[in-house]
Amino acid sequence: MNRLISGAVAVIMAGSITFPSMAKDNFDYHVDRFADIEVLRYKVPDFEKLTPRQKAFVYYLTEAAIYGRDILWDQNNAANLQLRTVLEKIYTDYKGDRNSKDFKAFEQYLKQVWFGNGIHHHYSTDKFVPGFSRDFFAEQYKAAGFTDKAVLDNLEDVIFNPKRYAKRVNQADGQDLIRTSASNLYDENVTQAEVEAYYASIKDTTDLTPVSYGLNTRVAKVDGKVVEQPYKIGGLYSPAIEKIVENLQKALPYAENDAQKAYTQKLIDYYTTGDLRTFDEYSIMWAEDTASQVDYVNGFIESYGDPLGMTGSWESIVNFKNIPASHRTEVISDNAQWFEDHSPVDKRFKKEKVKGVSAKVITAAMLAGDSYPSTPIGINLPNANWIRAAHGSKSVTIENITQAYDAAAQGNGFNKEFVIDAPTAKLLDDYLFITDNLHTDLHECLGHGSGKLLPGVDPDALKEHGSTLEEARADLFALYYLADPKLVELGLLDNPEAYKAEYYKFMLNGLMTQLMRIEPGKDIEEAHMRNRQLIARWAYEHGKKDNVVELVKRDGKTFVKINDYNALRDLFGQLLAEVQRVRSEGDYEAGRKLVLDYAVKVDPALHNEVLERYSHLDIAPYKGFVNPVYTPVFDSDGNITDVTVSYTEGYTTQHLRYSRDYSPLTK
Ligand code: ZN
C-alpha cells in the first residue's frame, strides 16, 4: 500500500544548500524511447566509497534480486513467460529486414512487454495492442524453430484477441474483479465471491496481530474447493525462489552486523516454509534494523496487482543509505510526535504515541521485479498495520532515482507550455526540487504512519478504494505540513513561501497534466492517480465559492491559477481530516463516494486539450530504468575483494541478458 511513484513528468531545477545541486553533468541519462515510454539510466553515487564487505553484500543481493524477475512475469499473467521466450527467440533469430514495418512494430511490442513485465501496460494494466500482423508472427514463430501448433494458436490468441486477458487489474465498480482481471494471482475458475468467502472463513477478526492473508499465495479451485498455493521452496516458483535463497545465503557472511544477518536468515526461512508468521517476524527485525548502511527489500510486498489488494507482487530493491541527505528525513522523524499532535485530524483518530518512524534517503543499487523498469521514488514498509503501530516502519526516499528523473527532464518545454506565468515558473525553478523531495519525505516518514484505526475496525474495510484513500491520506498530510512554518523553523526550508511551488505543481498535475497518461475516453484507474485527482478536484470544487483555485482560459489554452494559497492549505487540512475519519472508522460508503465523485471521471474536453498540448512536447508519459552492471573481483580463495559498476548496458541487451542468465522458470 505504501509506495510513492513519480508524479507526471517532473518539472525541475534548483540548487539549494540542503539538496544536491541539479547542475549539468556529462552522464547520459537517456537510454531508449518507444511507444509512451522513455528508458533512463541512474547513477549510483558513492558506491565506490562502500567497504569491500558492503560491496560484496550488495553484489549477492543484486543477484538475488535479478533471479526473481520471472516470478513477477508469471504473477502478472499465465502466458507471459512462454510468450517472452518466443518473442525473444524471434527477435534474436530474425533474418529479414530489421527496418521493415512489421519488424519495427514487433520490436516495439517486445520492448513494451519487457517494460510491462508481460503483456499488460505497467500503469493502465491494459493489454498492449500489437502493430504487426498475425501472419508475420506465425511465420516468424516457425522461422525461429518452434513447431508446437497448440502453443502458436494460444499465443496468437493472447496477442491478437483483444477480449482475452484485456486488463491485468480490473477495478471497475460492480464487476467480478477476479474473473475480469487477467493476472495469475487467481485461478481462472475462481470467482470474487468464492475468494471473499474463503478469506472470511480463515480470517480471525479478533486477532490483534493478523498475518497478511494471501500475501504469498495464488488462490485456485481444486476439486471444487478453494485453496491457496504458496510461493515457496517446493511450492509455486520453487526454481526461482531457490536461486534467490542461494544468493541470500552467499550474501550472509558479508552482512554488516548480526541484526542484518539474523533478518536475512529469517527471510530465507520464510522462503523455505512460506509461513506468513515467519514473514512477520522477518518484517519486525527488518524494520528495527536502522543501523546498517546497506539495506534491501526482497519478497512479495505490494498488493496493487491484486484487485482485492491481498497478494504481493514480487519485487526487490537493493540500496544503501545516503548519509548526508538522510539528515533531512531524520529531522522530520525526530519531530514526528509534534506533527501528529498538530494535524487537523480529530483527536480520536490520532496516535497518542507515534513510534519508531525511521526515515532515510537512499541510493538504489538495483531495481527488480515490480520495481523494474518502472520504479517508485519512495517506499514505506512493512505494510502490516499492527507491525507499523508496534514496531515502526522504514521510510525511504530514493534520491538517485528522483535525481535521474530531474536531470533527464531539463529543458523539455513542460513549464513553458503548462505553467501559467513567469513568476510561477520561477517559483518552480527555485523551489520545486526541494519541496518535491520534502513532499516525498513527509508522505513516507509521517503520512502513512500517522493516525489510527478505531478499535475493531477492519484494516481492509475500504476494500477496493483502500489504496487510493491511503495514498490520499499520506499526500494530504504532506501537503498540509509543507506550508507549515515549522519546516522553516526546523531548517528544512529557507523560505516560508517555498511550499507554493509544490502546491502549484500538485494542482496542475492533479487537475490537468496527469491526464496525459490516460487514453481518450478512459477513466482513471491507478490508485496514485486517483488519489491525486481526488485531492485536486475536491479542493478545486470546495474552493469555488471563494475562488481559491481557477481554471483560466488564455488563447484557447487552460491554465491552473491559484488565487489563495492559504485557503488551499485549509482545504487540504479539511480533506485530510475527512479521509482520516473514513479510514479510522472504516466508513466504506463515504470513502467510495469520495473516490467515485472526484477521483475516477475525467473531463473529456480538458483531457483532449492536455493530450494535444502534450503531443507537441514529445515527452514520454512514463519513464523507467535500466540497471547498472556489477562485476565482482575475487581473490584466489574465491572471496570478493571488490565490485565494479558500469553504466553502459542498453535496454534490449539488459533484458536479453536477464532472460538468458537469470530465468529459472523458463528453463
Ligand atoms: Zn504512499
Cβ–Cβ contacts within 10 Å for residue 434, how many? 23
Q: How far is the CA of 652 from the centre of ligand 1 (A)?
A: 31
Q: How far is the CA of 419 from the centre of ligand 1 (A)?
A: 26
b/e map of 557-579 (b: 16 or more CB within 10 Å)? Answer: ebbbbbeebebbbbbbbbbbbbb
Q: Are strands 294-302 and 30-34 parallel, antiparallel or unpaired?
A: unpaired
What is the sign, positive or negative, of the torsion defined by CA atoms of 272, 277, 283, 288?
negative
Q: How far is the CA of 526 from the centre of ligand 1 (A)?
A: 13
Q: What is the DSSP letter of 291?
A: S
pLDDT of residue 6: 47
User: Which residues hold their Cβ within 5 A of ligand 1, which is an ion?
Assistant: 2, 4, 471, 474
pLDDT of residue 409: 79
Residues contacting 509, CB < 8 A, separation 6+: 7, 8, 532, 536
Q: Are strands 622-626 and 37-41 parallel, antiparallel or unpaired?
A: parallel
H or E segment to which residue 254 belongs? none
Q: How far is the CA of 445 from the centre of ligand 1 (A)?
A: 10
Q: How many CA within 13 A on the CB side of residue 133? A: 6
Q: How far is the CA of 531 from the centre of ligand 1 (A)?
A: 10
- Residue 648 · residue 629 · CB < 8 Å: yes
Q: How far is the CA of 310 from the centre of ligand 1 (A)?
A: 17
Q: What is the DSSP letter of 321?
A: E
Q: Are strands 557-562 and 549-554 parallel, antiparallel or unpaired?
A: antiparallel
Calculate what percentage of the chain has a pLDDT beyond 70. Answer: 96
pLDDT of residue 8: 33
Angle at the Cα of 622 (from 75 to 24), degrees rounded to 5?
130
Distance (Å, whole) CA 330 – CA 539? 31
The secondary structure of 438-499, three-state, reads HHHHHHHHHHCCCCCCCCCCCCCCCHHHHHHHHHHHHHHHHHHHHCCHHHHHCCCCCCCCCH
Those residues of the chain that have pLDDT short of 50 are: 1, 6-24, 356
Q: How far is the CA of 449 from the centre of ligand 1 (A)?
A: 10
pLDDT of residue 97: 97
> Which runs of consecutive H residues, i.e. helices, occur in 274-318?
276-288
pLDDT of residue 600: 97
Q: How far is the CA of 654 from the centre of ligand 1 (A)?
A: 29
pLDDT of residue 358: 61
pLDDT of residue 37: 97
pLDDT of residue 9: 32
Mean pLDDT across the chain, nearest whole number?
93
Q: How far is the CA of 131 from the centre of ligand 1 (A)?
A: 36
- Residue 515 · residue 575 · CB < 8 Å: no
pLDDT of residue 1: 41
Q: How far is the CA of 377 from the centre of ligand 1 (A)?
A: 10
Per-state percent for the chain, helix, strand, coil, to nearest 5: 50, 15, 35
